[in-house]
Amino acid sequence: MLEIKNLKAYIDTSDGVVKAVDGVSFSIKPGETIGIVGESGSGKSVLAHSIMQLNPKPPTFYPEGEILFNGKNLLQLKEKELRKIRGNEIAMIYQDPMSSLNPVFKIGDQLMEAILTHHSMPKSKARQRAIELLTDVGISDAEKRFNSYPHQFSGGMRQRVLIAIALACNPKILIADEPTTALDVTIQAQILELMKSIQEKYGTAIIIISHDLGVVAQMAEKVLVMYSGRIVEKGNVEDIFYHTSMPYTWSLLRSLPRIDSESRTRLLNIEGQPPNLIHPPSGCNFHPRCPFATDQCKTVDPQLSKRSADHSAACILSEEEFNEAKKRIEKGEQERRMEHV
């Protein structure tokens, strides 16, 4: 349904060219869910906006790559053609519903606008469809709440309204950019469950972008790990969470709190800062922060290589070398903890 080939999204600034997305490739099938994870600044949102063609041009430009949707390269379409796709066939949910919804228009009017933009129908029918959507996303007494303003809804309800707007035209692909960041854990669980039920009902493909690995583990079948504008590891959920072969992914997973952990140890952060995307380091972009780094990492720029049928990682270490290095690091940390005790 959607295939991205060697996409490069660069941003021209007064300080130089920011390589926000630098050679990303992946595809998604109907009804599939792909999770994209990484630290802030790794290129996740620029990638999402590139798919929707919402990055301002200029300063954003695309020196290489293709974004193929049903055989059409979105990078080559004119604005008029893109408007027929945005919101209609590919829709997006943003992380902040208060800034995404217009505070001076009623919820129902904003829903109807999404429907009438792409479909020619009487307003009465559009109103009926909008009320059905509000009901589908769990807004009780939808006919009455149709005339409410955004400030009259809670954060969770506003996020549900955004999902309803995104689903207004039954899109084939739904991009959710940090859809639960501003919500408490209870509402977060409800929103994720809602997205799953909608996917089952409409057969929608979902791309969920998050820095929360727990959310991605719950939602996705496949995971892409991004660092400094690149995909550094990709595979199914089990590959990424239980058989990672990339030091960056391993470091991210170690920073997760675990309630099932037997040893009550401090969370481990990733030392240092993400690289400057105008002047990235030579060799592997992660090597200045990597606990596994060798001298070779300073000169060799690793590309994604297969670890198994559906699992790839960008690291010069083999799986055996990675596992051995991991054991040495974990053993050293354990010994230091024992000395401290």
Q: Which helix (H) or strand (E) holds 16?
A: strand 16-28
CA 96, 101, 102, 104 dihedral sign is negative
Q: DSSP state, 18?
A: E
Question: What pLDDT sits at residue 259?
Answer: 64
Listed in order, the ranges of the chain carrying CATH 3.40.50.300 are 2-220
CATH 3.40.50.300 fits 2-220, yes or no: yes
Question: What pLDDT sits at residue 61?
Answer: 97
pTM of the model: 0.92
The whole-angstrom separation of Cα 237 and Cα 221 is 6
The whole-angstrom separation of Cα 57 and Cα 77 is 13
Question: What pLDDT sits at residue 265?
Answer: 56
What are the tens digits of pLDDT across the range 112-170? 999 999 999 999 999 999 999 999 899 999 999 999 999 999 988 999 999 999 999 99
Structure tokens at 199: 């996917």
Structure tokens at 22: 């630098």
pLDDT of the chain, 341 residues: tens digit per residue: 999 999 999 999 999 999 999 999 999 999 999 999 999 999 999 999 999 999 999 999 999 999 999 989 999 999 999 999 999 999 999 877 778 899 999 999 999 999 999 999 999 999 999 999 999 899 999 999 999 999 999 988 999 999 999 999 999 999 999 888 778 888 888 889 989 998 998 899 999 999 888 899 999 999 999 999 999 999 999 999 999 999 999 999 988 876 665 555 566 788 899 999 999 999 999 999 999 999 999 999 999 999 999 999 999 999 899 999 998 888 887 877 777 76
From the CB of residue 32, how many other CB atoms can be counted at a distance below 10 Å? 18
Question: What pLDDT sits at residue 93?
Answer: 92
Query: Is the separation of the CB atoms in 254 and 266 below 8 Å?
Result: no
Query: Is the separation of the CB atoms in 123 and 112 below 8 Å?
Result: yes
Question: What pLDDT sits at residue 260?
Answer: 60
Torsion of CA 218, 178, 90, 153, to 10 degrees: 100
Query: Is the separation of the CB atoms in 145 and 60 below 8 Å?
Result: no
Cα–chain center distance at 58: 24
Radius of gyration of the chain (CA): 22
Question: What pLDDT sits at residue 33?
Answer: 97
DSSP bridge pairs for 207: 34, 175
DSSP bridge pairs for 11: 18, 60
Query: Is the separation of the CB atoms in 209 and 51 below 8 Å?
Result: no
Query: Is the separation of the CB atoms in 93 and 163 below 8 Å?
Result: yes
